[in-house]
Structure 1
Amino acid sequence: MQTMLQDESGHKHEHLWRRKNQVNPVGSVHGDILNIEIREGRKIMVQHVTPEPDHCVSNGLFQAIKSTKSKSNIPPKCSYGCSSENIVIDQIVTDSQTVNHAGNASSASSTNPVIFFIHGVGGSAKLWKHQVEYFYQENYEIVVPDLLGHGLSSAPKHKKAYTFSELSEDMLVLFDAFAKEENILIGHSYGSSFCVKLAHERSNQVSKVILISGGGPQSLKPQPCQIFCLPAFILSCIKPMIVNGFIKRAFKDPSQQAKLDKNNSFNASASVLHAMMNGQDWAEGDRNYHAALNTPILLIYGTQDQFIGIDEEHEMIETICDCRMKTVEAGHMVMLEAPYEVNELIDDFINQHPSERVVQRVPTF
C-alpha cells in the first residue's frame, strides 16, 4: 500500500513521516516515543523500542536473562552503561524533524521478528509495560501505538474518526512503516480485531498472532440501548461511575491491582469512549473472514473474564485452522494481572517450531 503523507510545506510524499514532540523517556536510554502524523489530522503516539546494541548481546547479558527468566525489579546493566529500565512516558521534548523513509521506518539490525502490541478501548501503550520490558530483554524490536484518542495520541472531535475502518487503516499504515520480513501481532480486547484485520490484509508478512481476551469470530456492530448511546456530555458527568464499574469487572481482584494500572485500564475521554463504542462497525469480520486466516494464532483467556465468555474463545478455535488457547487465572486485563504467565506463554508460542503447529480441519459454513 502506498502511504502518502504531507511535509511541512503541504506537499505529499510517499512514506514521509513527520516526527514531532519526540519523547525522551525518563530513567531509560532505550526506545523512542514518536508522535507521527500517520494520516492527515491523525497523530499517533508510537513507542518504538529497538534491540539492544550488539555489545550488550555479545557480553552475555541477555543470554543470562533468558536462561534465568529473572523476575527481579532491579534492571540489569551491561558494562557499557545500558539499562533495561521500564520506559516511562511522562516527559516530552519538542524535536520537530522530517524523516523520509523510502522503505520501512525500522532500521534495527536484529533478526528477531518485530512485535506489534495493540490495546483496546480506553487503554494505551502503558498497558503493555510488562510485555515491553520482557521482550526488550529478549532483544526484540517492539512497536506499541496509542490508538487515536488514547494515551498521548491526538483526539479529533468528529465521531467518524473513531470508526473501525478508520482505526484499522491507521494500524495498516503503521504496520507498513515498521514491518520487517517477520512480524508478530499481539492484541487485547478490541485491539484483537485490528490484529485479525492486519493478519488478513498482510498475511504474507504476519508470522504469528496472539489475541488476549479477544472474543469470538463475529462481525462487529454497535450495541443498541447501552450506556454509550447517551450523549457525550452526559457520559462526562457519569464517567467516574463508568470507570469504577469497568475496573470492578475487568480485574479478578481490583484490590490487589496497582492503582496506576487500574487508572490506565480505561482512561480515554467521555467523547472518545462514546465515539469508539459506537464506531465498532465491522460487518466484514464474520466467521468466514476469520476462517480464511492461515496464520498460527494463540488465544490467551482469563478464566475470570466478565466481558468475554469462554464459549467465544472455543468458537475461535473451531473456526480458525491453526488456533489454540491457553487459560490464565485472571480477569479481562490478563497482561496486567498475570504478566509473568502471559509473557512466557507468548514467548513459548513465538519460539514454537513449525512442526508443533496445531492444524485442524478447515470449517465450512
Structure 2
Amino acid sequence: MSSEEFPIPISPSITLHTLLSAPSQSSDRPALLLLHFWGGSNRIYQPSISLLQARYPIIAPSLRGWGTSSAPADATAYRITDYAADIVALLLHLQMEHPTLLANGIVIAGHSMGGKLAQVLLSYKEVAPLVRGLVLIAPAPAGRFALPDDMREQQIHAYDSIESASFVVENVLLGKAESVSKAAKKELAEGMVAGSPGARAAWPEYGMAEDYERAVVESVEQYQRGRGQLKVLVIVGELDRVEEPGNVESRVAVALRNTGADVKMDRMTGVGHLVPLEAPETMASAITAFVESF
C-alpha cells in the first residue's frame, strides 16, 4: 500500500497538499492525522508512513506555507488557529469525499509545533467527536513560551539560507548529526528555506507566544465528560535541545494528566528533536502499541 499526495482545496485561497493512504483491507482502526513541525512538511513522516500505512489510514497534510501547500502573503496568517481552521476544513472535505478514511475516527499525531496544534484541535467541535487519542511528538506546550529577544531574532532568520538551515539541522534539531543521511539533511534544509516568509517567521515571532493552555484544559475536560478518558502518548527524544524532556513532562504530560487524561510518556534513547526522521521504526512501534491498546 503506497501513499499518494493530493492538492486539496479547503478554501478559495488555500490548498493543502496532503498525503492520503488506506490499508488494502478494511478494519476498525482509526486514521492517523500527522501534523508536522515548524520548518518541515508532510515529507518528514514518509519513513514512518511506510511502516504504518498497512494497518492505518493516513492523512498527512503540509500546513499552509510549507511544502507545496498554499502560502498566504499576509505575515499574520500563520497563527495556530489559522492552521487549525485549515485542518478542520480538510477533515470536513475528507468526510464528504473520502468518508471511509474517517469512519473509525482519528488519532492526531503532532510533532513540535504540530503538537501544539494537535492539542488545540481538540477544542473544535468538528474535530473532538472524531478523536480517539493524541500522539504528541516532542510537542510544544499549549501555553505561552517566550524566547529572549536575541534568540527570538536568531530563530526568525534561522531558515533564511541553506547554510543557516543546515546549521540548525545539524547542531540544534538532530540529537546526533550522523543519525540521518546527508541526503535527508539536505532535503530538510531545502524544505525549510522553501517555506514562505510568513510561515518561516511566524512561529518564533508570535506562534510560540500564543496561549491556548486554558482552552486545551477545558476541551479535554469537556471531551472526557462526553467521551471518556482521553488517551495521550507523549514521545520525547532523550537528546532534544528544542523541547527538552523535562519541560515536555512538566508543561505537557503533567498538565494533561492534571485534567484527568491517561498520559503515557515514551523517552527515546539517543534521539533529538527530529524523532520522525531519527527513529521512525521506534516511533511507528510506539504509535502502533498505543493505538492497539484502545
- Shorter-chain TM range is 0.7 to 0.9
| Alpha-carbon spacing, 1:242–1:126, altered in 2? closer, same or farther (3 Å) | closer
| Alpha-carbon spacing, 1:345–1:248, altered in 2? closer, same or farther (3 Å) | same
Matched residue count: 267
CA distance in 2, matches of 1:304, 1:231: 20
Of 300, 310, 322, the residue aligned with 2:235 is 300
Show the counterpart of 1:318. Answer: 254
CA distance in 2, matches of 1:345, 1:304: 18
Unaligned runs of 5+ in 2: 95-101, 225-229
CA distance in 2, matches of 1:292, 1:204: 11
Structure of larger gyration radius: 1
Contact kept? 1:42, 1:154, Cα under 8 Å = yes
Of 222, 225, 231, the residue aligned with 2:149 is 225
Q: Does 1:343 align with 2:266?
A: no
| Alpha-carbon spacing, 1:35–1:181, altered in 2? closer, same or farther (3 Å) | same
Give 3-state SS (helix, strand or coil) of 2:77's partner: helix
| Alpha-carbon spacing, 1:154–1:341, altered in 2? closer, same or farther (3 Å) | same
Give 3-state SS (helix, strand or coil) of 2:164's partner: helix
Unaligned runs of 5+ in 1: 1-28, 55-108, 354-365
Q: Alpha carbon RMSD of aligned pairs, Å? A: 2.6
CA distance in 2, matches of 1:327, 1:203: 27
Alignment of 1:136-175 (within 5 A): 136-138=53-55, 140-175=56-91
Give 3-state SS (helix, strand or coil) of 1:137's partner: coil
Give the letter for the 2:122 counterpart. Answer: A
Show the counterpart of 1:285. Answer: 212
Give 3-state SS (helix, strand or coil) of 2:212's partner: coil
**What is the Cα deviation at residue 170 of structure 1?**
0.6
Show the counterpart of 1:327. Answer: 267
| Alpha-carbon spacing, 1:141–1:231, altered in 2? closer, same or farther (3 Å) | closer
Give 3-state SS (helix, strand or coil) of 1:129's partner: helix
After superposition, give the CA deviation of every residue in 1:236-258 in whole Å (9 maximum; x if it has no partner). 76552243134322112112311
Normalised by the length of structure 2, the TM-score is 0.81
Report 1 or 2 for greater relative contact order, CA contacts < 8 Å, sequence distance ≥ 6.
Answer: 2
Contact kept? 2:18, 2:62, Cα under 8 Å = yes
**What is the Cα deviation at residue 307 of structure 1?**
0.6
| Alpha-carbon spacing, 1:160–1:136, altered in 2? closer, same or farther (3 Å) | same
Alignment of 1:342-361 (within 5 A): 342-353=283-294
Q: Does 1:252 align with 2:154?
A: no
After superposition, give the CA deviation of every residue in 1:157-189 in whole Å (9 maximum; x if it has no partner). 221222222112111211233333421111100
CA distance in 1, matches of 2:281, 2:155: 40
Q: Does 1:135 align with 2:47?
A: no
| Alpha-carbon spacing, 1:226–1:242, altered in 2? closer, same or farther (3 Å) | farther
**What is the Cα deviation at residue 129 of structure 1?**
1.1
| Alpha-carbon spacing, 1:122–1:251, altered in 2? closer, same or farther (3 Å) | same
| Alpha-carbon spacing, 1:239–1:172, altered in 2? closer, same or farther (3 Å) | same
Alignment of 1:1-365 (within 5 A): 30-52=2-24, 54=25, 110-138=27-55, 140-178=56-94, 179-201=102-124, 202-219=127-144, 223=147, 225-226=149-150, 229=153, 240-266=163-189, 267-269=191-193, 271=197, 272-280=199-207, 283-286=210-213, 289-290=216-217, 292-293=219-220, 294=224, 295-315=230-250, 316-320=252-256, 321=260, 322-329=262-269, 330-353=271-294
